[in-house]
Structure 1
Amino acid sequence: MRAATVPMQRPRDARLLTVDRYGHIDERPRTAFADLLQPGDCVIANDAATLPASLHGIHERTGNAIEVRLAGRTSLASDAMNRFSAVVFGAGDFHTRTEERTAPPELQHGDRLIFGASGATIMRLLDHPRFVELRFDGDAAQVWRMLASHGKPVQYAHLANPLALWDVWTPIAAQPVAFEPPSAGFVLDWSTLDALHARGVPFATLTHAAGLSSTGDAILDQRLPLDEPYRIPVATAALVETTRARGGRVVAIGTTVVRALEHAAAIDGVVHPGDGVATQRIGPQTQLRAVDVIVSGTHEPDSSHYALLRAFADAPTLARVTATLEAHRYRTHEFGDSMWFERRADAVREEHASSERLRSCTAVYCA
């Protein structure tokens, strides 16, 4: 694979690698995405807009330059803007590979970080010297103004030029709550949504605060993905359940949609609407209960996004996928090419058997 170095969301030559439920691999233009859908399916996407979550400032106690990358929050409420978890770097910017960034000065409880005329206080260290909980000064309106004035999109060294905020907003972006773009949504545009409508495939959204894809620290990266809040509208939850009841496929645009839907369905297999926080890790041991297909970007084998794909395909299939991506030089990272993974056939059979067992147990209990 090769890094996508230009922030173009929908290049004309974008490709889509498809993996069906039996592990068969095919390649097609990404514009053919809608052709893979059938009447009875539904498509669910993350409508989170991306925050300017990278802040350059000063560590007041030492006077040293720092960069703060916001990484998490406990709620999607628009007025819950004072507390964030964050990863702190020393001086420098995205031109240096994240893994090679200098460490910040020693961080302590109570330290002040200054961003222009505003700032934040370190409330605690989160079991890592660069991972902290911050409380920002002022009310939510003041924090929004500070982000607008001093924040930039989180960015990595494979992109040579600074990102503009509109580079990282998908066409359906709504509430700004994501820390990095839910970039699987770059596959969508309005003509694609028209094509879904023409095929009788309903489309709905949820909101999930997509987190950082890398911290630059191997130990801290093992925690990814962090806990991420989400909100599932009543209409979206109802569409998922209607689709499942009629035997259609629930197609998730991105890993964040998978995390949200599967977390919401964890208790009884039913996607419940409302707010929640996705705390689970999805991987080879996960029995998917809500999602049948994931549309995702291409990912390196050591990433948390790649690990999530193990819930859809076994290790030998993923090895063949990686070999195909490498051999055909697919583009990776957020502006790269895309993949379509159907849940493997044996996993579908097991999920149906589990659902039948649950229904039988419920029937006996109710009787």
Structure 2
Amino acid sequence: MDVSLFDFDLPEDLIALRPAEPRDSARLLVVHEDGRLEHARVCDLPAFLRARDVLVVNDTKVIQARLRGIRERAGSPGAKIELLLHRRSAPDRFWAFARPAKKLHPGDTLKLGTSIAAHVVARGEAGEVEIGFELTGARLDAAIAAEGETPLPPYIAGKRKADTRDIADYQTIYAREEGSVAAPTAGLHFTPELFTRLTDAGVTREHVTLHVGPGTFLPVSATDTSKHKMHSEYAVLEADAAARLNAVRADGGRIVAVGTTSLRTLESAATPDRTIHPMARETDIFITPGYQFRTADVLLTNFHLPRSTLFMLVSAFSGLDTMQRAYAEAIRERYRFYSYGDACLLFRRP
């Protein structure tokens, strides 16, 4: 498909720089199966779901993945560098995006923050480097947590620096499995009180894990979707959770994916007969209009970037015409966009 079909103009002032307070007070644009649009709040979610429905949330935890420091090389002045850790390759190694990458070469030593000693192991493609650390395992994790910064997406980081508020704001309340450099942002809207009301309404909850990589922010640069190479991310769905999800559907309940990461995990785990299987592997599933969904009936998600794989996914879920109309309505009504913004609740088009 022509990528320009997924383009739209977004006023800069609609990009949210802070989340709503409380979290579940964010606005919610409901897109019904027939394309009808309805305005609500995230706290109204129980009214749109029913007993026997199951929420599927992504329990990945964002790490303090942005590190700043100095490259030290004999006979050369120190150069300031910035790293965005995005994939662990060993207990003492990470692949990272470096700025400026051209200043780093294998063998260079690095001082990151005030306490982390490291070196460049290898160079990769598109500004990637593999970094080896003197610390390893839990000690390295603790040092990164102490010295690193919240890896805010570029459309926020370009407008303000990360601060202590972001440590909590850019994390779901159910995050537990460390590994993401970006939050599964649909989950940021939940509060303990909202979960209590959903439980009281008979809505259950299951967890998947997908460690979100920086590729989630990248617009599609190809002119046709068939030419785009999707980034790969590690995802896990446990066997007992898969069995319960299959049982929910057999009992007439609906699967409600909280976020595109949860949906991509479910779709990666399902076979053509719509059975959901356990998985623990990389997935690079790329969902565009025409895709036949096997799992979720409902999707809670934020508003996404133009020309992004995520806007393509929601257009596949509810129809491109419908989502173009929904986003036009959201812009007209001044909904807040992107990671800290408002949400939409999509009921899958039959």
Q: TM-score, normalised by structure 2?
A: 0.83
Offset from partner CA, 1:206-264 (integer Å, 9 cap, x none):
22212224369968xx9786311122233321221112222321101011101111111
Residue 43 (str. 1) matches residue 55 (str. 2): yes
Q: How far apart, CA to CA, are the structure 2 residues paired with 1:50 and 1:7?
A: 16
Taking the aligned partners of 2:229 and 2:169, their CA distance within structure 1 comes to 24
- Mapped to 2, the partners of 1:10 and 1:192 lie a distance apart of 11
Which of 276, 283, 291 is 1:286 aligned to? 291
Q: Indicate the SS of the match to 1:113.
A: strand
Equivalent residues in 2 for 1:1-367, closer than 5 Å: 2-8=14-20, 10-11=22-23, 13-61=25-73, 63-73=78-88, 80-90=90-100, 104-115=101-112, 116-128=114-126, 130-155=127-152, 156-157=156-157, 160-164=160-164, 165-212=167-214, 213-214=216-217, 226-266=231-271, 269-345=274-350
Could you say what the CA RMSD is over the residues aligned between the two structures, in angstroms? 2.6
- Deviates further, 309-318 or 131-140: 131-140
SS at match of 1:127: coil
> Helix, strand or coil: the match of 2:43?
helix
State whether residues 268 and 283 of structure 2, in contact with CA within 8 Å, keep that contact through their aligned partners in structure 1.
yes
Cα distance between partner residues in 2 of 1:223 and 1:83: 29
Equivalents in 2 of 1:245, 1:321: separation in Å? 32
**Cα separation, partners in 2 of 1:217 and 1:297, compared to 1, 3 Å:** closer
Q: Aligned pair in 2 of structure 1 residues 57, 161: CA closer, same or farther (>3 Å)?
A: closer
Q: Which runs of 5+ in 2 are unaligned?
A: 1-9
Mapped partners of 1:38, 1:57: distance in 2 = 51
Q: 1: distance between equivalents of 2:294 and 2:48?
A: 21
Q: How many Å separate the matches in 1 of 2:24 and 2:142? A: 37
1-structure distance, mates of 2:158, 2:21: 15
CA–CA separation in structure 2 for the residues paired with 1:341 and 1:55 = 37
Deviation at 1:139, TM superposition (A): 2.0
CA contact (8 A) 1:8 1:167 kept: no
**What is the percentage of aligned positions where both structures have the same residue?**
29
The separation in 2 between residues aligned to 1:60 and 1:306, in whole angstroms, is: 42
Counterparts of 1:42 and 1:12, CA distance in 2: 18
Q: Quick one: distance in 1 between partners of 2:70 and 2:220?
A: 21
Taking a change above 3 Å as real, the CA distance of residues 302 and 119 of structure 1, as seen in their structure-2 partners, is farther
C-alpha separation between the residues in 2 aligned to 1:133 and 1:173?
Answer: 26
For 2:117 and 2:230, the matched residues in 1 are separated by 27
Q: Which runs of 5+ in 1 are unaligned?
A: 75-79, 91-103, 346-367
What's the counterpart of residue 99 of structure 1? Answer: none
Relative distance call for 1:112 and 1:244 in structure 2 (3 A) is farther
Could you tell me whether the CA contact under 8 Å between 1:224 and 1:304 is conserved in 2? no
Give me the whole-angstrom Cα distance separating, in 2, the residues matched to 1:217 and 1:303. 6
Relative to structure 1, is the Cα distance of residues 229 and 167 closer, same or farther in structure 2, using a 3 angstrom cutoff?
Answer: same
CA distance in 1, matches of 2:201, 2:248: 15
Q: When the two structures are aligned, how many residues end up with a matched partner?
A: 324
Give the drift of 1:121. Answer: 3.8
TM-score, normalization: structure 1? 0.80
Determine the structure 1 residue equivalent to 2:6.
none
- 2:87 and 2:272 mapped to 1: Cα distance? 24
For residues 216 and 37 of structure 1, what CA distance do their matches in structure 2 show? 32
Decide whether aligned partners of structure 1 residues 55 and 126 sit closer, same or farther in structure 2, where only a CA change above 3 A counts: same
Asked if structure 1 preserves the Cα contact closer than 8 Å seen for 2:220 and 2:309, the reply is: no
Q: Distance in 1 between matches of 2:332 and 2:132?
A: 47
- Say if 1:280 and 1:143 are closer, same or farther in 2 by CA, change over 3 A: same
Contact 2:24/2:189 (8 A) holds in 1: no
Tell me if structure 1 keeps the 8 A contact 2:221–2:228.
no
User: In the alignment, is the contact (CA less than 8 A) between 2:315 and 2:322 conserved in 1?
Assistant: no
* Aligned partner letter, 2:258: I
C-alpha distance in 2, partners of 1:251/1:217? 27
Q: Secondary structure at the match of 2:294?
A: coil
CA distance in 1, matches of 2:245, 2:217: 31
Change (3 A) 1:335 1:259: same
| AA of the residue aligned to 2:83 | V
